Amino acid sequence: MAFQVLMPSKSIIGENAIDKAGKDVSELGKNALIISGKIVEKSGIVDRLKEVLDKEGITYTVFTDIIGEPNDKMIEKAKQTFDDNNCDMVIGIGGGSPQDSAKAVSSKSGYIPIVLIPTTAGSGSEATKFYCVTESATDTKRLITDEKVIPKLAIIDPVLSVTAPKSVTAATGMDALTHAVEAYTSKKATPYTEVFALSAIKRIFEYLPKAYEAGDDLEARFQMAYAAYEAGVCINNASVTLVHGMSRPIGALFHVPHGISNAMLIDTCLSFAKDGCIERFAQIGRLLGAQGTDKECADAFFISLNELIRKIEIPTLEEYGIDKEAFFNNIDKMSKDAMASGSPANTIKDVTEKDIAALYKQLWLR
């Protein structure tokens, strides 16, 4: 079996890693476009980055007009800011949206160097060749795959995530868990990704509840930040499957945060796929302490999964406020968009558009 391994060129990981990264950033450029969100900027995290850049004589322009998940109009505005200020590198600091936006700007600017600094533990964008942009005209969330946007430098600093509210911690943590489990049960899984996936899964089940309950628990924040990075490496090499394929249309049409829509779907989608690789789900169950037959251990994993979902208070579609009639009226479009994304094809069990439509309907029975 031959397989390739794709990772960021360099990663700096640990408490206060951002303070140690100035020299590495300076080797990539001298005039940065910093893409972030307004909440991250107000938290003081962007100011901390500025101090690091100032010490290295790096000039910068800050762009914070990424609202929610990025769409094509936001990216064009960010690209214009990049051009107007003659920037030569882009730094994405924040959750998945600023990081994806940095990749999109780089792809439109001759693939200038990318530095990614996550402030949440979930998207794994800091380790991947993927980014998502919504087409505003059609409300279609597009997954773009491009090895040239794997960052030159990833800075994983758990201190930056301590101010994340519980809802964000839950959503992003479930995104990371979805990445790890999907990669482990993907048709594209390799011995390399299996190691990272199982490690991430174990960390997340142990430390996500702790980070959720006590945001200032630095050990929990570190373990989650590292798990999100591990899970990002997994999907960079084994991809995602059915959950992500079905999640993106919900996010695009109903503006549900990506991690939340993943969490709403994960049990339903993985239960559908379970008989395609029950031994894999059994292995996860054993990792979490289960004993017995493959079926018993696989079932134990799903019990643990649902306990975690309850513990971190993931809402249902109805609890989130989505109108049932509007949701059902869009099932055909969502099913087509999910299949078109290509992600369901990586599922270990064959998936049809009809299957996806039925799974969307099942969400209202939870």
Cα 177 from Cα 262, distance rounded (Å): 9
What is the total count of domains within the chain? 2
Q: Which among 335, 319, 351 has a CA at the least distance from the CA of 140?
A: 335
The low-confidence residues of the chain, meaning pLDDT below 50, are none
Cα 31 from Cα 351, distance rounded (Å): 47
Q: Which among 231, 244, 5 has a CA at the least distance from the CA of 121?
A: 231
- Residue 2: per-residue pLDDT: 80
Residue 190 sits in a domain whose CATH number is 1.20.1090.10
**Claim to verify: residue 224 and residue 153 sit in the same structural domain:** no
In a domain, 223, yes or no: yes
pLDDT tens-place string over residues 101-115: 999 999 999 999 999
Residue given tokens 């939870």 in the structure block: 366
Cα 132 from Cα 99, distance rounded (Å): 10
Give percent of the chain above pLDDT 70. 100
Q: Which among 159, 108, 149, 160 has a CA at the least distance from the CA of 125?
A: 149
CA angle 319, 124, 7 (to 5 degrees): 160
- Residue 140: per-residue pLDDT: 85
**Claim to verify: residue 222 and residue 293 sit in the same structural domain:** yes
Q: In what order do the strands lie in the sheet with 31-35?
A: 10-13, 153-156, 114-118, 89-94, 31-35, 59-63
**225: domain range?**
166-365
pLDDT tens-place string over residues 37-96: 999 999 999 999 999 999 999 999 999 999 888 999 999 999 999 999 999 999 999 999
In a domain, 2, yes or no: no
Q: DSSP 3-state assignment of 185?
A: coil
Residue 93 sits in a domain whose CATH number is 3.40.50.1970
**Claim to verify: residue 232 and residue 357 sit in the same structural domain:** yes
Quick one: which H or E segment has residue 79? helix 72-84
**Claim to verify: residue 92 and residue 204 sit in the same structural domain:** no
For the residues of 30-47, what is the DSSP string, one character each?
A: SEEEEE--HHHHHTTHHH
Tokens of residue 253, six digits:
């049409």
pLDDT tens-place string over residues 48-61: 999 999 999 999 99
In a domain, 3, yes or no: no
**Claim to verify: residue 220 and residue 300 sit in the same structural domain:** yes
- Residue 68: per-residue pLDDT: 83
Cα 147 from Cα 125, distance rounded (Å): 12
Last residue of a domain, one of 161, 189, 210: 161
**Claim to verify: residue 215 and residue 302 sit in the same structural domain:** yes
- Residue 364: per-residue pLDDT: 81
- Residue 366: per-residue pLDDT: 63
- Residue 141: per-residue pLDDT: 83
In a domain, 5, yes or no: no
